[in-house]
Structure 1
Amino acid sequence: MTQAHSLSRFLFLGRGPDGAPPRLERDARIDVIRGLALLIIFINHMPGNVISAYMPHNFGFSDAADAFVLLAGVSATLAYGGLIERRGLGVGALKIGARVWTLYIAHIAVFIIVCGVVAAAVTRTQNPLYVEAINIQPFFRDTFDALVDALTLRYQPSYLDILPLYIVLLALFPLIFLAVRISPAGALVVSLAVWQAALALGLNFTNVHAAGWFFNPFAWQVVFTLGIILGCAARRGIAAPRLLWLDAAAILFLVLAYVAKTSFGNPLGIAMLNEWFDSVQLGSDKTNLAWSRLLHVLALAWLAIRWLPAGEGLLRRAIGRGLAVVGRHSLDVFCAGTVLAIIGQIVMAETGFALGPQLLVCLVGITLLIGLGMFLTWYQSITLSGATDARAPSRRASASLH
């Protein structure tokens, strides 16, 4: 069976090559890229610092959030797809439900901690502007109503909006996964139709203190669905076809994005593109997922799949290993990074955004997040080895009885 035939068979029928599916090993590309995305999100959550001027969103249409959601779809498929196929939808849904509950508790915990950090900052500095900086004033103005709205995800302060999106998307995972199993192409068409219908009808989830959720789930489910398709392709053993023309198209689109974001006005001089260049230079629509964002993250994903070494190839260098330990513990690192970013904003404001404190805040924050990932990896290794050692005597005893 040719590679093209295998790909078309997968896209339209959801089937892989004949024979047993390949045994999947952990692909370090997922952990490394996700770790990098988490560190970028930490930097971007401290606006005004000099390092943020060099983050990817200044040189392209998408940013770390797009990559994070795409990888969330891939990871969910690798984590739960096999379970659903082996044990059925009910068992898979229970496992996913437990993870959704963990995400929900983490979101509420971060919300409360951030409120405490801001309250402490206002008390010590006598500067009430910190309350307004992340749209947290409703919590202090009417705590009971704000708390109820936070518990129902109807109130999301700034920088606390990614986990609610992931909660909704992961809850939808079984439905999307089943659709992708039937036909990835068909599932993608339905996903795109939902997105465009939501745009036409102005659909979004309710945020009582804003126009809607900052990440509109009706739109961002497209990125998550694409991640599920990529995950299913990996599980079916579908390799990326060697299409040099597609490589070239992806590179050209990334170059166009770079030129558009780093230029003033219309660098091509084509009058009909004036309005488009003006809009993307201000920033591609993040709430409702502009087409430019989607195409940009797809171009990056294609080139990563084609040219980054699979398996453990990225772990040969220290920087790859450092990013991987961050990516393996994404929830813990994201929650810690959100709190550290709020503290960083306060520290930079109190020091007048001087260059030295800015660099120090970024360096200390990144060091702490990488250290957290390393600690959790070490802790996980000793707890797992301890569990193995604890089971070993019982196996030996059982053997001796027989």
Structure 2
Amino acid sequence: MQPAASFQRFLLAGQAGGAVPGKPARDARIDVIRGLCLLIIFINHMPGNIAAAYTPHNFGFSDAADIFVLLAGVSATLAYGGLIETRGLPIAALKLGARLWTLYIAHIAVFIIVCGVIAAAVTRTQNPLYIELINVQPFFRDTIEALLGALTLTYQPSYLDILPLYIVLLALFPAIYYAVRLSPLLALAVSLAIWQGALAFGLNLPNSDATWFFNPFAWQVIFVLGVVIGRCNQLHIAAPRLRWLDAAALGFLLFAWAVKVGPGNFTGLPVLNDWFDSVQLGSDKTNLAWSRLLHLAALTWLAVRWLPAGDTLARSFIGRALAKTGQNSLHVFCVGIVLSIAGQVVLAETSFDPTVQLAVCVSGVTISLGLGVFLSWYRTITSRTAGARNVSAPSSAAPSSSLLPG
């Protein structure tokens, strides 16, 4: 079957010419791009620093957070979708539940550590304004109530809102996966309808006295798109060669760049004045503006079409470091959050000295990359040790590693 026809059949019915789900080879594009996103998120979480002025959100409508959620959908499909196909939903649900618990514990741990960082900053500098830095006033005003809010995900300080979003989306993954398996096009249509319905009725989840910064009713669209891409990978379906779509995607990215870096409404059409003003300040992130989604879709299409698959991107030194960082995304993300909050304090205490700004950014990026490389190395040596123990263990006894999840 021709690639275009196979892709169309997949979009409509979730299958493609008799293709069956299989375990795809690891694609370095996912790990490298995710590792790069983690570094960008760390830098962007320190507003006002020099490096942040050169990150993607200044040159387009979407940013690293959008790509991070998209890749979360892709990775979830490859990890848990494959498990559903090979071992069934009950086993996949157990693994999924274990991952959700890990994410939840990580979120609570980061919350406590960040509050400790803010408390230390206030104590050392005698500046109580740091309590307002990331909206931790509720924690110091009523600690018990704030802790209960953190445990129920109804209180999220600034910059601690991505993991709760991921927890909600991952909990919905089985339903999303089965919908995509039935019909990716239908799943996307329902997802878009939920998003627009939420906007029409003002639906969001509560966060202290406001609502979630990342509205899950909106951001599920990006996650669903990631699941569709992951399902394509699972079925070994290649993107069709559509030159007109390549040109349209590239044209939209160039248009977005012109809008972001331009001085104003370069079209001269008064009806677009308000739109230009709004997107130049930043496309709606909470409820996912259409401009963000279209920009992300254009980036994704061109990445799928033109970035080399396989391990090509991870062959260079920096590519390997980024890939290892992306492979350990939870650990690196949590450490990056803490480092960025501490970095905000350092920048404020040094009056945003340019040299200090660069030093903080370089230090945080180096620590993040180093952590990713170290964790990959550590996992390698521990797996080798476990393998050696399994080989040397008597055949009549069950190896200790058999008690651990695969």
Query: Matches of 2:291 and 2:347 in 1, distance apart?
Result: 33
Runs (4+) of structure 1 moved beyond 3 Å?
A: 19-23, 394-398
Structure 1 match to 2:368: 369
The CA RMSD measured in Å over matched residues stands at 1.2
Structure 2 match to 1:319: 318
Q: 1:49-198 residue pairs with structure 2 within 5 A?
A: 49-198=49-198
Percentage of matched positions with identical amino acids: 67
Query: Matches of 2:370 and 2:193 in 1, distance apart?
Result: 43
Query: Matches of 1:107 and 1:189 in 2, distance apart?
Result: 32
Q: Indicate conservation of the 8 Å contact 1:117/1:343, yes or no.
A: yes
Please state how far the C-alpha of 1:20 moved relative to its aligned partner: 4.9
Query: Matches of 2:152 and 2:22 in 1, distance apart?
Result: 42
Please state how far the C-alpha of 1:385 moved relative to its aligned partner: 0.5
Q: Indicate conservation of the 8 Å contact 1:247/1:303, yes or no.
A: yes
Structure 1 match to 2:213: 214
Query: Matches of 2:180 and 2:22 in 1, distance apart?
Result: 19
**CA 352–291 in structure 1, closer or farther in 2 if over 3 Å, else same:** same
Q: Indicate conservation of the 8 Å contact 1:44/1:52, yes or no.
A: yes
Deviations 1:307-344 (A, max 9, x none): 11100000121121111111000000000000000110
**CA 375–125 in structure 1, closer or farther in 2 if over 3 Å, else same:** same
Q: 1:325-340 residue pairs with structure 2 within 5 A?
A: 325-340=324-339
* Secondary structure of the structure 2 residue equivalent to 1:297: helix
Q: Indicate conservation of the 8 Å contact 2:22/2:82, yes or no.
A: no
Query: Matches of 2:55 and 2:63 in 1, distance apart?
Result: 8
Which consecutive residues of structure 1, in runs of 5 or more, have no partner in the other structure? none
Whether 1:392 aligns to 2:391 is yes
**CA 43–326 in structure 1, closer or farther in 2 if over 3 Å, else same:** same
Query: Matches of 1:296 and 1:395 in 2, distance apart?
Result: 57
What letter corresponds to residue 230 of structure 1 in structure 2?
Answer: I
Identify which range, 69-78 or 254-263, moves more after superposition: 254-263
Please state how far the C-alpha of 1:394 moved relative to its aligned partner: 3.2
Q: Structure 1-normalised TM-score? A: 0.97
Please state how far the C-alpha of 1:11 moved relative to its aligned partner: 0.6
What letter corresponds to residue 231 of structure 1 in structure 2?
Answer: G
Query: Matches of 2:157 and 2:23 in 1, distance apart?
Result: 43
Query: Matches of 2:363 and 2:379 in 1, distance apart?
Result: 24
Deviations 1:272-315 (A, max 9, x none): 22221111111100000000000101111111111111000001
Q: Indicate conservation of the 8 Å contact 1:17/1:238, yes or no.
A: no
Structure 2 match to 1:296: 295
What letter corresponds to residue 153 of structure 2 in structure 1?
Answer: L
What letter corresponds to residue 255 of structure 1 in structure 2?
Answer: L
Q: Structure 2-normalised TM-score? A: 0.96
Identify which range, 71-80 or 82-91, moves more after superposition: 82-91
Q: 1:217-366 residue pairs with structure 2 within 5 A?
A: 217-366=216-365
Query: Matches of 2:170 and 2:220 in 1, distance apart?
Result: 10
Q: Indicate conservation of the 8 Å contact 2:23/2:82, yes or no.
A: no
Structure 1 match to 2:401: none
